Amino acid sequence: MTNKVWFITGSSKGFGRVWAEAALARGDRVAATARDAGTLADLVEKYGDNIAAIKLDVTDKKAVDAAVAEAHKRFGRLDVVINNAGYGHFGAIEEVSEQEARDQIETNVFGALWVTQAVLPIMRAQRSGHIIQISSIGGVNAFASLGLYHASKWALEAFSQSLSIEVGEFGIHVTLVEPGGFSTDWSGASAKISKPMEAYAPARAKMAERRANSVAGDPEATGPAMLAIVDAAEPPLRVFFGDGGLPMIRQEYANRLATWDKWDHVSVMAQGARKNRKG
């Protein structure tokens, strides 16, 4: 399909901005959302009626429903929905406060859930659509000092995989995009940080060293990559953005399989006697 209609959360900067501009530059129409719609003024000036700049806090379910309805009324359909709004919370598990934990899940999980639920009736009626969930390499692996962020992305991965099974018969595709490290402000101004405890200083130092030794990707390069995913006849359920994800997950999955295999005798023990099994 040409001239797709996109709905993108978190469009003011970073990935969301790159993808909005990539879509607009080729003539697609975009409902771009941001907490401050004024940050999208230059795109409105440049692309005119092809963009709807909508103020949205994804943690407000009523506002999400209204924003989706506004976009649908404006453009008549929704072909691509990108749940990009979110942030990273840094802190060891013991350091994270109750409110910090709730805020991380509220934005990264419930925000994506509310948008997904709001667009599904439209896409089912169309018998088409593509929901793209912005996960992370942190949605398939976990590191120190990011436990609540990982929890949010693992939850996103889980409900999105279930979703893909549920909506396939309606012609709706679901893709989890899993970026590695990129030159955005994800770990800078956009991040939130718990009050540090001295006990976890060594863990923080190791993570800082790991990030310092990694090569960040170029966010602009993700524009053509996103278009390739959107235009694919059979888009993937999962795709890494960046060259570090696949080698990392190969090692992680090898470690998991080795551990499960080593302890399989206990798994079998837990099953109970064969005589108690059904069939």
Q: Taking a C-beta distance cutoff of 8 angstroms, is the pair 35, 12 a contact?
A: yes
Strands 129-134 and 238-241, bridge-based pairing: unpaired
Q: What average pLDDT does the segment 253-268 reach? A: 98
Angle formed by the axes of helices 98-105 and 147-167, nearest 10°:
30
Residue 179: strand pairing partners: 241
Is the pLDDT at 279 greater than 60? The verdict is no
pLDDT at residue 210, as a whole number: 79
Phi then psi for 237, rounded to 5 degrees? -70, -40
Which residues participate in catalysis according to the annotation?
135, 149, 153
- Cβ neighbors of 253 (< 8 A, separation 6 or more) are none
**How many Å apart are CA 126 and CA 170, to the nearest integer?**
9
For residues 242 and 107, give the distance between their C-alpha atoms in angstroms, rounded to a whole number.
Answer: 24
Q: Which amino acid would we find at residue 19? A: W
- Residue 175, classed as helix, strand or coil, is strand
List of residues 6+ apart from 249 with CB closer than 8 A:
137, 140, 141, 240
CA distance linking residue 10 with residue 128, whole number of Å: 23
pLDDT confidence tier of residue 28, bands split at 50, 70 and 90: very high
- Write the DSSP string, 25-55: HTT-EEEEEESSGGGGHHHHHHHGGGEEEEE
As a whole number of angstroms, the distance between CA 51 and CA 75 comes to 9
3-state secondary structure (DSSP) of residue 27:
coil
Reported as a pLDDT band with limits 50, 70 and 90, residue 275 is low
> What would the pLDDT profile of 82-106 be if each residue is shown by its tens digit?
999 999 999 999 999 999 999 999 9
Between vectors from CA 217 to CA 215 and to CA 222, what angle results, nearest 5°?
165
How far is 274 from 93, CA to CA, in rounded Å?
40
How do beta strands 80-83 and 129-134 pair?
Answer: parallel
pLDDT for the residue 78: 98
Cβ 148 vs Cβ 142: under 8 Å:
no
Least confident interval from 59-73, 97-111, 169-183: 169-183
For residues 272 and 267, give the distance between their C-alpha atoms in angstroms, rounded to a whole number. Answer: 10
Structure tokens at 142: 């976990």
